[in-house]
Structure 1
Amino acid sequence: MSELLWFFGVAACVKLLLIPSYHSTDFEVHRHWLALTHSLPLSKWYSDETSPWTLDYPPFFAYFERVLSIFANLIDTQIVHLQEGLNYSSDTVVLFQRITVILSDLCLLYGVYRLTKDLDSRRRISIWVLIIWSPMLVIVDHMHFQYNGFLLGLLLMSLSYLEEGRDLMGGFVFAVLLCFKHLFAVAAPVYFVYLLRHYCWGGFVRGFRRLSVLGAVVVAVFAAAYAPFVYHGQIQQVLHRMFPFGRGLCHAYWAPNFWTFYIILDKGLAFFLKKLGFAIQIPAASFTGGLVGDSSPFAILPQITPLTTFTMVLLALSPCLIKAWRDPRPGMITRWVAYAYTCGFLFGWHVHEKASLHFVIPLATVAVQNLDNARHYFLLSIVSCYSLFPLLFEAQEYPIKVLLLLLHSIIMWLAFSAQFTKEETAPIKKKVDQLEKRSSNATAKRGEGFVIGGVEKSYLVGLLAVEIWGQLLHPLLFGDKLSFVPLMLISIYSGLGIMYSWIWQLRWIIRSPNI
């Protein structure tokens, strides 16, 4: 544990140096939530419209903000002033909120500790490097500003309990996580099928008793979160804020997912058919307009609804759910949950680019299991981090994000190279299935060590080409015209890498043998 604290301390020092850096409107969102939960009674938290940044997270996160507001009020009363505090950005509030994110990462630290405590030192340190020193968390949480590290810590804690066979505790922590941020519910079908089969199955009486206990635990967690709002007649307003389906299919900056290609195909077909003389009404380009709102209808392809995306996510999840039902192995649960979040990212409704953290961080624990997993993670981690670059768009932050990605890539390469040498392969975790054992043995015979293939190398070179175009060639050739093109290229090219990762994970899940 002391070594892990050293890793955390180094990361905290870097984050402290970044306190004066850029922060997005999410910073004011969370400052307003401090003021809102401190100044208003609970019955008005989800109906207040003092600011455009209304409360839209589940109740446990609102309670979390309420606790933080107590300390904020002691430090600077202006932070929690509902009216006069709007857009308040003094050094005091910046320092306070930045430090709360750093301290909340202690939850992530504990989650990582639980998941790695039984591993050998080499793999354990590799996972610490991948998660505690993740550049994605630095960019999203400690510059752009959010609390993802704290929430991902709860997810890792839940997965650690499931891997230990403590299903009831794993389900309890996951229910708590859903009451902090409901977007983690994408993995709920995997949890439901796995717990039903692994924990509840096995005789009518035993199964019914365990199902009742599990259901009681989950209901108790949700009751603790939502009961006060039911009492005040606010539950409909809470749900309306949490599920704003009117925001449209895509975020202002397209997340690198399936819908990026769908939009491009629709616009390409519309442009082509219009050139051929067809009377095509091309909608306004709200997809790149930078605003969150209803997206313009598609010109050619069928319109997409929230129900469509929900159905596609479930269909993509189905092979994983079948595997979890047929062979509910604790050693596979982290991989299945990460795959679920990949499906949600690719096919979900109004997905933010920051949601890639939901599968990149859990997959770090899988990456150390064998060489193929390490190669996959190396590519996925770089692509996912690069897709976050548009979040930091000011010139003074550009060297920071580039340096973070380069350093992380080098450290990853060194960590994997130390683990997967030419003379030996990584030790195989006891819970890894027979397919992984065969893969590791084959790797040992080849004696390659940690290297990536030609396709992966070419793709990473392509990332460099996309960045050179956006930073140098496009401004030189087009000036301020077509300013959305560099962002579009990042989304499309990064989307190819994420799609590759999804197919890779799906193929692995399908091919893994049942026991």
Structure 2
Amino acid sequence: MGVHKAASMSHLLWFFATATCVKLLLIPSYHSTDFEVHRHWLALTHSLPLSQWYSDETSPWTLDYPPFFAYFERFLAIFAHFIDPQIVHLQKGLNYSSNTVVLFQRISVILSDLLLLYGVYRLTKDLDSKRRTLIWVLVIWSPMLVIVDHVHFQYNGFLLGFLLISLSYLEEGRDLMGGFFFAVLLCFKHLFAVAAPVYFVYLLRHFCWGGLVRGLGRLSAMGSVVVAVFTAAYAPFAYHGQIQQVLRRMFPFGRGLCHAYWAPNFWVFYITLDKGLGFFLRKLGFAIQTPAASFTGGLVGDSSPFTVLPQITPLITFTMVLLALSPCLIKAWRDPQPGMVTRWVAYAYTCGFFFGWHVHEKASLHFVIPLATVAVQNVENARHYFLLSIVSCYSLFPLLFEAQEYPVKVLLLLSHSIVMWLASSAQFTNGKEVKPTAPIKKKDDRLELKGSSNAAANEGGFVIRGIEKSYLVGLVVVETWGQLLHPLLFGDKLAFVPLMLISIYCGLGIMYSWIWQLTWIIRSPDL
């Protein structure tokens, strides 16, 4: 067993090394304003006392992540100061973009991905070699992570590592450790809290339920762990009377319903319908005013831009997310199966993405990466993931808008799609087709649907259906319009249209994924 695990880890390290080589080649590429955001956070955590971290306004890029991430930036600043003191200089460092700071910050993201490496290893260590390898392909070679973290610039990889570690403990039945790592994750990035209702219901039912004395003891243990984590994160700021300021920075609801570039979710259709109704009503002579801050203009900060349809508030989006989550929460309460936790958490993040307030397109990583571990279970899951991962990756294309990065994002998506197709075909050529209504069996601490062994062969194994093929062809049409036809026909006019088309079309794909996941959860039988 020890030799097997050593060989497995060696294989995984090869995957990671290959991905790292690609990331190193991309160091000189374009980076977004997020690069300066994180450089400034290095500077303020290094230069200011802790009591001023969340009140500093030296730069527009104020600290708005939870305390553990601020501590993480402070840790990185120790090394940044030795490499180049100007990186962490609060005044002189503004918009500093020398080769030194670029290299330091790029390398810091690459090294932090080691936690993702451990997370995916821990979640897959008990699977057979074929399924384990396929998950490594989908996660370690994820083009979405390369685009968001290693070109655009963010630190999503190691945060997702915490999530995978937490899920791995839950699947093993080690709920206390699973809850601990999820609490740590929330103190790094609070946007992961969308899955908190699933964690709460599942842990309450699976870990705490079962007799008054036993239940209270376990509830106390879990509560103590969570309180200890949040105390370690927030106690220093509470001591300095900064809790309200920290929370104000973390939850800036005044930013508006949508980000400057529309994430492909439900609100894309709502906004489009409102604008279409407003246009036609104005043509009919109605006095419909166009708001000063228009979503198509890419402005952020107006939370009530609608002209015809009812205004949307954060409370409405919060309610819609909870309603969408309710079937999953009912399942988690009625039958808390460890093998279903990853699917439930991924569904929760899909709901948050599809119905949430001020959703960034990058948040699709929160459900795409966990669903990679579900994709290996059967052909249906693999088909769903193949479509979802391509759509989600394509929705990130507008993040890299400079011409020199265009071949990079296209090659990343195409190469990953080909590798994913080949790996999935090899996995499921002689695999088992599964039906959602069939009984469930447990294997390798995961739940699999049991079905006919010949059905997959009858369908040719891993085959994409006609409607899914047509949708993928539509992505090519949308991209061709945005890159060639629109500039040729309209020049610089109506520049928002290509972006709007990407959001709307990808929104259809995300909606399909949300419905598919919801249907699977509803139809999966209780044990």
Question: Where on the TM-score scale, by shorter chain, does this alignment land: which range?
Answer: over 0.9
Question: Where does 1:14-93 land on structure 2 (aligned, <5 Å)?
Answer: 14-93=22-101
Shift of 1:294: 1.7
Q: In the alignment, what sits opposite 2:393?
A: 385
1:514 to 512, 521, 526: 526
The one-character-per-residue Cα deviations of 1:440-496 (angstroms, maximum 9, x if unpaired) are: 646346352111100000000000000000000000000000000000000000000
The one-character-per-residue Cα deviations of 1:96-126 (angstroms, maximum 9, x if unpaired) are: 0000000000000000000000000000000
Q: In the alignment, what sits opposite 1:455?
A: 467
Q: In the alignment, what sits opposite 1:125?
A: 133
Tell me whether 1:349 sits opposite 2:325 in the alignment: no
Q: In the alignment, what sits opposite 2:383?
A: 375
Q: In the alignment, what sits opposite 1:179?
A: 187
1:194 to 197, 202, 216: 202
Other structure's SS at 1:210 match: helix
Q: In the alignment, what sits opposite 1:147?
A: 155
Q: In the alignment, what sits opposite 2:291?
A: 283
Shift of 1:282: 2.4
The one-character-per-residue Cα deviations of 1:126-157 (angstroms, maximum 9, x if unpaired) are: 00000000000000000000000010000000
TM-score normalised by structure 2 residue count? 0.96
Tell me whether 1:99 sits opposite 2:99 in the alignment: no
Q: AA paired with 1:223?
A: T
- Measured in 2, the distance between the counterparts of 1:452 and 1:397 equals 29
Q: AA paired with 1:496?
A: L
Shift of 1:186: 0.1
424 and 313 in structure 1: CA distance in 2 versus 1, 3 angstrom threshold: closer
Q: AA paired with 1:227?
A: A
Q: Is the 8 A contact 2:431 2:456 kept in 1?
A: yes
Tell me whether 1:469 sits opposite 2:481 in the alignment: yes
- Measured in 1, the distance between the counterparts of 2:467 and 2:488 equals 30
Q: How large is the Cα RMSD of the aligned pairs?
A: 1.4
Tell me whether 1:494 sits opposite 2:509 in the alignment: no
The one-character-per-residue Cα deviations of 1:133-184 (angstroms, maximum 9, x if unpaired) are: 0000000000000000010000000000000000000000000000000000
Shift of 1:220: 0.4
Shift of 1:425: 6.4
The one-character-per-residue Cα deviations of 1:169-217 (angstroms, maximum 9, x if unpaired) are: 0000000000000000000000000000000000010000000000010
Tell me whether 1:485 sits opposite 2:485 in the alignment: no
Q: Which runs of 5+ in 1 are unaligned?
A: none
Other structure's SS at 2:450 match: helix
- Measured in 1, the distance between the counterparts of 2:444 and 2:22 equals 36
Q: Is the 8 A contact 1:15 1:102 kept in 2?
A: yes
Question: Where does 1:292-307 land on structure 2 (aligned, <5 Å)?
Answer: 292-307=300-315
Q: AA paired with 1:73?
A: H
Tell me whether 1:399 sits opposite 2:407 in the alignment: yes
Q: In the alignment, what sits opposite 1:360?
A: 368
1:312 to 305, 312, 320: 320
Q: Is the 8 A contact 2:278 2:308 kept in 1?
A: yes
Tell me whether 1:330 sits opposite 2:343 in the alignment: no
Q: Is the 8 A contact 1:286 1:295 kept in 2?
A: no
- Measured in 2, the distance between the counterparts of 1:489 and 1:442 equals 41
Q: Which runs of 5+ in 2 are unaligned?
A: 1-8, 435-440
Q: Is the 8 A contact 1:141 1:147 kept in 2?
A: yes
TM-score normalised by structure 1 residue count? 0.98
Deviates more, 1:260-269 or 1:296-305: 296-305
Q: Is the 8 A contact 1:123 1:368 kept in 2?
A: yes
Other structure's SS at 1:449 match: coil
Q: In the alignment, what sits opposite 1:12?
A: 20
Shift of 1:304: 0.3
Shift of 1:274: 1.4
Q: Is the 8 A contact 2:170 2:178 kept in 1?
A: yes
- Measured in 2, the distance between the counterparts of 1:172 and 1:307 equals 28
Q: Is the 8 A contact 1:126 1:415 kept in 2?
A: yes
- Measured in 2, the distance between the counterparts of 1:288 and 1:273 equals 18
Q: In the alignment, what sits opposite 2:450?
A: 437
Q: In the alignment, what sits opposite 1:222?
A: 230
Q: Is the 8 A contact 1:270 1:300 kept in 2?
A: yes
Q: AA paired with 1:437?
A: K
- Measured in 2, the distance between the counterparts of 1:20 and 1:28 equals 15
Aligned residues: 513
Identity of aligned residues (%): 84
Other structure's SS at 2:259 match: coil
Q: AA paired with 1:408?
A: H
Other structure's SS at 1:165 match: coil
Q: Is the 8 A contact 1:287 1:296 kept in 2?
A: no
Deviates more, 1:268-277 or 1:457-466: 268-277
- Measured in 2, the distance between the counterparts of 1:24 and 1:212 equals 44
Shift of 1:278: 1.6
- Measured in 1, the distance between the counterparts of 2:419 and 2:30 equals 25
